[in-house]
Amino acid sequence: MKYLHTMVRVTDIEASLRFYRDALGLEVLSRRDNEAGQFTLVFLAAPGDRTAQVELTYNWPKNGAAETYTGGRNFGHLAYAVDDIYATCQRLMDHGVVISRPPRDGRMAFVRSPDQVSVELLQAGQALAPAEPWVSMPNVGAW
């Protein structure tokens, strides 16, 4: 038995790729645009851990209207270990992502995808020394 992936639905595939690929740093392993089914599937994974994937499901707009998705409390978050949590958070900010829970402790941060999927980032190994601007950065919203 083996974990394969966690699937999330996305309302805007390009915005989602900017978040999961460009800002978070996952790699796109495959993309399938299914004309007949009117959907796109994108599989991504951490560069160092390709076997555990996240699947983005993008249902194409019908009659020009994109689907919209609400969140639910039964799902919590996706969690990734990162080599440098400050560098990861800076890259997310450079791409316009709000750091919901900044890594004030050099160890843990939370952000949200464009569809409000919560993503936890954990510093691999020892926590980094607390440092600005993170130490003074307040929480924003929920995560």
In whole angstroms, the minimum distance from the beta carbon of 136 to its own copies comes to 26
Tokens linked to 114: 């464009």
* Binding interface with its own copies (CB under 8 A): 1-10, 25-26, 45-49, 51-55, 57, 67, 69-83, 113, 115-117, 120, 122, 124
Q: Are 97 and 110 in contact (CB under 8 A)?
A: no
User: What b/e readout covers 7-27, taking b as 16+ CB neighbours within 10 angstroms?
Assistant: ebbbeebeebbbbbbebbbbe
C-alpha to C-alpha distance for 75 and 8, rounded to whole angstroms? 10
Q: Which is nearer to its own copies, 58 or 134 (CB)?
A: 58
Name which of 126 and 136 has its Cβ closer to its own copies: 126
Nearest approach, Cβ of residue 18 and its own copies (Å) = 17
- Nearest of 25, 123, 9, 14 to residue 71 by alpha carbon: 9
Closest separation between CB of residue 35 and its own copies, Å? Answer: 21
Q: Does the annotation count 14 as an active-site position?
A: no
Catalytically active residues are: 120
